[in-house]
Copies of this chain bind each other. A is one copy, B any other.
Amino acid sequence: MTGDARLSWQAVQEIVRQRIRQRIWKPGDQIPHEADLAQELGCARATVNRALRGLADAGLLERRRKAGTRVALNPIRRAEFSIPLIREEIENRGERFDFRILTREMRPPPPDIQARLQIGEDAPILYLQTLYMANHMPYVFETRWVNTRAVPAAQEARFDTMSPNEWLVREVAFDGGDFALSAISASTQEAFILGCSAGAGLLALDRTTRNGRQMITSVRLVFHAGYRLHTRA
């Protein structure tokens, strides 16, 4: 802030944020259009565009061609939860990361997994159960199906030093996927593995990952009791 220079798009964003915060522009209100704002603030329309687009992405504004830009009626509806990279999450806290493969076999997948992986028959595919630990305490319990039709190399892979997740990340390109968060009641097996009482509420994250049209793997992560996924907006 040497005193002047032309406004950066971040500066424009901050100005708009303030006006919204101070209710100069109220929810539902139209705000001046790009050209006017650019002139008022003494910068290029492109700069205003960049700023407003950002705010729209963040959900603070709603924009439609010709209709103009208005302050979103419901400001905070999006929140980006970053899916934890288990190893990183644990090591960042200075704790010791560790994992143990509990099950590894070829097994015909149940119908819901067949559907998710979009494989028709019930020929066996790779099934893995892995327990991830922080300081030797159970952290998250992973149940994974790998579409060995799409990733045949997974059958030979050894998961002694590299976790199944890390192996897959290295070996196949991911492209997108589906996520679902839900709460489950710990089964006796889950309770035993995670060291909690049966029936405890546990956070479960289901993820199916694809590469183009190929479905690669479907995972359920069941976190230890008390786990929280948080973010700020």
Footprint of B on A, CB under 8 Å?
A: 17, 20-23, 26-27, 73-85, 169-170, 173-186, 199-204, 207, 209, 211-212, 223, 225-233
Contact = CB atoms under 8 A, between A and B. Distances in A.
A178 B82 CA distance: 14
A229 B179 CA distance: 8
Contact of A183 (B83, B183, B231): B183
A184 B73 CA distance: 31
A201 B179 contact: no
B181 A230 contact: yes
**Nearest 5 interchain pairs by C-beta:** A201-B201, A183-B183, A180-B230, A183-B201, A185-B201
Contact of A27 (B173, B202, B231): B173
A229 B79 contact: no
A80 B228 CA distance: 16
A228 B81 contact: no
Nearest to A186: B201
B73 A83 contact: no
Given A169-B27, A173-B21, A175-B21, A227 B185 contact: no
Given A79-B81, A169-B74, A174-B76, A180 B23 contact: no
Contact of A185 (B175, B200, B211): B200
Contact of A85 (B21, B77, B228): B77
A73 B231 contact: no
A233 B83 CA distance: 11
18 contacts: A20-B175, A21-B173, A21-B212, A75-B173, A78-B82, A78-B83, A79-B80, A79-B81, A79-B82, A79-B179, A178-B233, A181-B203, A181-B228, A182-B228, A182-B229, A183-B202, A186-B201, A203-B203
Contacts of A175: 17, 20-21, 75
A204 B169 CA distance: 30
Given A27-B169, A176-B232, A76 B184 contact: no
Given A21-B211, A27-B170, A232-B176, A182 B226 contact: yes
A21 to B, nearest CB: 5
Nearest to A23: B173
